Chains A and B, each alone.
Chain A
Amino acid sequence: MNIGQLIRRGETCWEIPPTSAMRVPAVIYADEELIRAMDQKVYEQITNVATLPGIVEAAYAMPDAHWGYGFPIGGVAAFDPDQGGVVSAGGVGFDISCGVRTLYTGLTMDMLRSGLHRLADELYRAIPAGVGSRGKIHLNPHEMTAMLSGGARWAVDRGFGEAADLERIEEGGCMAGADPAQVSAKARERQRQEMGTLGSGNHYLEVQRVVEIYHRPIAEEFGLRTDGIVITIHCGSRGLGHQIGTEFLKEMAMAAAQYKIALPDRELACAPIRSPLGQRYLGAMRAAINCALANRQILTHLTRKAVDTLFPGVRLRLLYDVSHNTCKVEKYTVNGRKKELYIHRKGATRAYGPGHPDLPEAFRGVGQPVLIGGSMGTSSYVLCGTEKGASQAFSSACHGAGRAMSRHQATKQWRGRELVDELARQGIIIRSPSLRGIAEEAPLAYKDAGAVVDAADKAGLAHKIARLEPVICIKG
């Protein structure tokens, strides 16, 4: 990105003042190196977001921001319904409520070592992953509707997991305001065989080892200790969310003129929050959030069963489940007044700080865990939300590293088999149905998440708590 176009407001804060159609400034949180490496398209996209009706304070880009669709990936924007604010299907994206959950195992690397390959095989057998995989849970229309209303609560009621899990999921595992009636027959059909599946691309299940602790007291509150083993699942609302995104994106793009919204990019497709279309989208999108929460809950259940076959009696407890593609209603103080705002996070994680009333009791003293995913050979991180974050970017932080090169470039540079062997030499076991998929997801095809979380930490968006390294990766 051309640094000359930005006003530096701090070591990790850069502002683009409003010009032409921008209603508010755009603010990017990153250090100078990340800014210089950032795609110029992020500038274009975040300034476009700043033109949308009813946007509050600023359009924000997180340190991992990269070229997305309409919104940059790593984009955050809040809209006020009292000011004609909009809800944007483009601002949430196709993979609605894509997110990450991490489970403690109570195991250490020493306890795991002898069973490592057997665990990789068992997880690969248990978790449907990749193109063409099918889940074993098929929902009839009535159960599909119940799932779309109930999310992870529905899953726990059906025997997939434990009631205690729900306290460790955003929204208590169930997104309020879901309207399954707004979920089309096509979206339901696309999900029919995909409950309890991982998907492909950058989605994964990883067995990870805690290798570094940055803040011991909070790490202990989170139950993280050096050499401890955790399991992390990264996936979203599967075909149902993709179809809802597809359908509403087109409908909102076509309806923009009717609502007198000038879209600088059709991918920013949106509708007024207080419009029939906006309300229909919110109902469907919230149902897709529930689908993602239910899906990760079923995957947790399958993971528990797989681990239990090799380590009987080991209880997998949930650290937390966070979503990073959502629009949620949250309360913030704007110009001295409490407002209910519609916060869009596209490739950004909510990061509530200590004392936030919506946090589970366990995290109210320290702030919520913010889970940042890596890619096969690279580190993942656990961060913690801050109080300061609420006034900086509506309590938001980064979500990952983003790609350093395209899939095409990656397949030119690496072969899947060689990568599997190289990662094995590094002590990382990969299981995947597709060698080409592995090449496209090569660790070095992604940026270093370390630089991204350092910038988030310096900016005060979230604080670094622990670093995790992969031991086993099940890739779609």
Chain B
Amino acid sequence: MPKAQSQLPHWEHFDHDADMGIRDIAPTLAGSFEQAALALTAVITNPNTVGNTRALSIKCQAPDNELLFLDWINELIYQMSTQHLIFGCYKVKIEQGKLTATASGETVDRERHQPAVEIKGATFTELRVYRNEEAMWIAQCIVDV
């Protein structure tokens, strides 16, 4: 990938035999968590099809960035599951191990979203949160579907 493009915040999926890896790259830790959440949405549906009629506040706290990432993804999975929501937009702040975020989206519309699969949970497999040599934050893990 050209350097200019690699420095833009973006997300990607990576393969796992049975499930799906989510990976996200951004200049800030919070930005990488926002991108990760978009990658999570994209496991289920195209994020561009998701409207913006509901917003939820989410808070997490963990002793390190990897556990914080796991908690963040698992909290989104929980909210989607119990509220029948799909999120398309995320705003994240992280200060001293505390995450506060707003996740915006709408109720799942099976016709329009064609949701492929529900996500059971985020795993420790391939879980990493780190800065690469270009000082970009990368956060990733496999999610069980």
Residues of A at the B interface (CB closer than 8 Å) are 39, 41, 66-70, 73, 90, 93-95, 130-132, 134, 186, 189-190, 192-193, 199-201, 239, 242-243, 245-246, 249-250, 253-254, 265-267, 269, 402-403, 406-409, 433-437, 440, 476
Tell which of A39, A243, A266, A433 touches B127, judged by Cβ atoms closer than 8 Å. A266
Tell which of B17, B117, B145 touches A39, judged by Cβ atoms closer than 8 Å. B17
Interface residues of B in 62-103 (CB under 8 A from A): 67, 70-71, 74, 77-78, 81-82, 84
Residues of B at the A interface (CB closer than 8 Å) are 13, 15-20, 44-45, 67, 70-71, 74, 77-78, 81-82, 84, 107-110, 113-118, 120-125, 127, 142, 144-145
Bound-state Cα–Cα, A90 to B124, Å: 10
B124: A residues at CB distance < 8 A: 69-70, 90, 249, 253, 265-267, 269
Given A199-B118, A407-B145, 17 more pairs with CB closer than 8 A:
A67-B16, A70-B125, A93-B144, A132-B110, A132-B113, A189-B82, A200-B117, A239-B81, A243-B78, A249-B124, A265-B124, A266-B124, A266-B127, A269-B124, A408-B20, A434-B116, A436-B115
B108: A residues at CB distance < 8 A: 131-132
Bound-state Cα–Cα, A41 to B21, Å: 15
Contact A250 B115 (CB under 8 A): no
Contact B13 A408 (CB under 8 A): yes
B145: A residues at CB distance < 8 A: 200-201, 407
Contact A250 B118 (CB under 8 A): no
Bound-state Cα–Cα, A276 to B138, Å: 36
Tell which of A68, A69, A201, A436 touches B118, judged by Cβ atoms closer than 8 Å. A201
Residue on A with the closest CB to B44? Answer: A131
Contact status of A267 and B125, CB under 8 A, knowing A73-B18, A246-B74: yes
Contact A434 B114 (CB under 8 A): yes
Tell which of A134, A402, A436 touches B114, judged by Cβ atoms closer than 8 Å. A436
Bound-state Cα–Cα, A239 to B120, Å: 7
Contact B125 A132 (CB under 8 A): no
Residue on B with the closest CB to A202? Answer: B18
Contact A407 B84 (CB under 8 A): no
Bound-state Cα–Cα, A406 to B16, Å: 6
A94: B residues at CB distance < 8 A: 120-121, 123, 144
Contact status of A190 and B18, CB under 8 A, knowing A242-B120, A437-B115: no
B77: A residues at CB distance < 8 A: 242, 246
Tell which of B15, B70, B109, B120 touches A250, judged by Cβ atoms closer than 8 Å. B70
Tell which of B15, B117, B123 touches A440, judged by Cβ atoms closer than 8 Å. B117
A408: B residues at CB distance < 8 A: 13, 15, 20
A267: B residues at CB distance < 8 A: 123-125
Contact B127 A246 (CB under 8 A): no
Residue on A with the closest CB to B71? Answer: A250
Contact B121 A242 (CB under 8 A): yes
A239: B residues at CB distance < 8 A: 81-82
Bound-state Cα–Cα, A239 to B78, Å: 9
A sample of 13 inter-chain contacts (CB < 8 A) reads A73-B17, A94-B121, A131-B117, A131-B118, A189-B82, A200-B118, A239-B82, A242-B81, A242-B144, A246-B77, A408-B15, A436-B115, A440-B117
